[in-house]
Structure 1
Amino acid sequence: MIPYGRQEISQADIDAVTEVLQSDFLTQGPKTPLFEQLIAHKVSAKHALAVNSATSALHIACLVLGVGKGDWLWTTPITFVASANCGLYCGAKVDFVDIDPRTYNLSPTALEQKLITAERDGKLPKVLVAVHLCGQPCDMEAIHKLSQRYGFKIIEDASHAIGGQYKGQYIGSGHYSDITVFSFHPVKIITTAEGGMAVTNNDQLAEKMNLYRSHGITREPHLMTHEPDGPWYYQQIELGYNYRMTELQSALGISQMERLDQYVARRHELANRYDQLLQNLPLTLPWQHPDSYSGRHLYVIRLTLDRLKKTHREIFEALRAEGIGVNLHYIPVHTQPHYQQMGFKRGDYPEAERYYQEAMSLPVFSAMTEQQQDKVVHVLKGILQV
């Protein structure tokens, strides 16, 4: 099976993890601060905080932005459920904004229309989670302008997008948002096995996220309610969580970071090659906005079903049967049973639902060979009968 995505682990990665296993620190040691510094420097952000998953990063990002009971968090329906669940974790209500039909990201036009109505009804969002689907950044300039007008905070869910750029700046620079979140899951661009990162330029937000990721505990005297009892002393000053990243994960991340630009460049080569090999087929190929340099985490095609003899499901299953590990990113969140219990229903976000009926993620990963890619294309053409 050629998977839709997979990690690439080098001997250098293995050696880096082995070194930590033989060291004095497995959990909290020097590797995690170093990994954070590398990420912050790469994206030109002031602070980076490593956590055990991007989901945890989204959660603490919402907490430090004050999301709570009675608030609204908005995001796109075409994302993994974590982008919406983070609002529910905080007791907030969640709503969605339909996607742009070309980029598949949250539509600034639909956002503006929804904000006009929400302002009239007194239901403006406290936070918007802008998801950079497939690694292509949202139209952050337009979204930021709307945030200035309507007063909401912005989290960039860049789980797909580390190493990508928007208007010449690395995603994560914070020019158009309050906090950016990265994922290091094995199918992502670089991996720490599981793991995530929250980056920000705001000192206060960084300090609070640092508390929330580690039980709400501090050893910093300036944060305590009184002078420390001694060098052993700590205080819990918030209700926090055990969201820390281990030294093993950080060591792997440090090693992988050396190849980040190489990985993104290779994904671009593969995507460009797909563009050439799949042209003139009854497909819509991924469109790239000229302001963006995508991380190219996913290569999503859309089937032109009225020109095909097979259904979406038949084509998907036929590819899987031939050893092509296609996937579908994502099932619209508002159609999930948990969200339908909240009152969402099919038909609420028509562009997202049209996307779901036609979309398919083809294999793309940094170690993919041209022979593997040729097989994907050959099998797909055979199934489409072209």
Structure 2
Amino acid sequence: MRIALLGCGVVGSDVVRLLHTHAEDLAARVGAPLELAGVAVRRPSIARDIPVDPAVFTGDAAALATRDDIDIVVEVVGGIEPARGWLLAALRAGKSVVTANKALLATHGAALYDAAAAHGVDLYYEAAVAGAIPLLRPLRESLAGDRVRRVLGIVNGTTNYILTRMDETGAGFTEALEEATALGYAEADPSADIDGFDAAAKAAIIAQLAFHTRVTLDDVHREGIGDVTAADIASARAMGCTVKALAIAERSVEAPGVSVRVHPAMIPRAHPLAAVRDAFNAVFVEAEAAGQLMFYGRGAGGSPTASAVLGDLVAVARNRLAGRRGPGESAYAALPVLPMGATVTRYHINLDVTDKTGVLASVAAAFARQDVSIQSVRQDGHGDDASLVLITHAATDAALAATVEELRELDVVRAVASVMRVEGGEL
């Protein structure tokens, strides 16, 4: 099996090392040697400390991806273009593809699937979500006979590290981000992580597989963690919760459809995801027959991601030798993706209020007018420092958001200090 590797950065270099180090084992598992026939990089003349013949490097990724002697194309470059063009050309040329490109799959996955089906080849992408954690294949294959109800996960290590440090040390967001950057968990431009773009792409891919429905990045409601404050973390701790940046994909109970969203939320400390610390990832799956499943591990980094790439490479090579294809796209359900307003959730609301008679009655009336019920109320402080902390029962996000807007207009409410969703079961 002759392999073309597109990209040789952190992940690509580890793919090369694993191919070299485990060559005999991989050949035995596949039934044929895996030969690295070409590596496409931007600057092929630069010396690299990896076990590969310099003669296999090329600057022409497009030509390599469609070369007659190539069986499988592995792409670890990332981004939309030019990767989209390379992979479509490879698939149309009859090459099977292994990719770690979450952004591409979340925006143009349908086109890639269609090309793979039309030309009888494989498209595998386990490494695109949660690094080495085996998540996508269980959703696509192991749970193919079940009905997934909900997937709830921490799928971005940078944001989880930041929120962990805020929870453990009382640090503010900026301080925790600076620490994450110094340790290499956050990029120089961390916006893809802290603004939720990375997690949203992964959520789209998860939802596609879980609900047999085409979901794109544009379908995902996205909120970052930049507005999470030390006060939010302290309030969560006071009610036995912690704050996590969650990717949530769930099948609607009220109407046919699915909701897919990424945002910070409070979850009870008794929930399994609450114990996921630092830069680790974990995904909690709820299915009708299988019940509750959790997948946990390192969700990023060169070696974990390369491990997932090699797992796909072995599977694809086996299929190619046997003259068969693995599972393709399953989008038969074609469920509508619901707007965020139709999603059922709960809110934690912290109000800065005047300390006088009738405040609670006025606040409760605002909730009642939107048909939102209150689960619990706690008053903190007196006089100018008085605040009300409320937890709602489940309601549509549209009704909850409308309630918050009405609260802002009340004379007895000086400010809505913070609003955060609550997930993961009753408190």
TM-score of the superposition, structure 2-length normalised? Answer: 0.23
Larger strand fraction of residues:
2
TM-score of the superposition, structure 1-length normalised? Answer: 0.25
Larger Rg: 2
Q: Which structure's relative contact order is higher, taking Cα pairs within 8 Å and 6+ residues apart?
A: 1
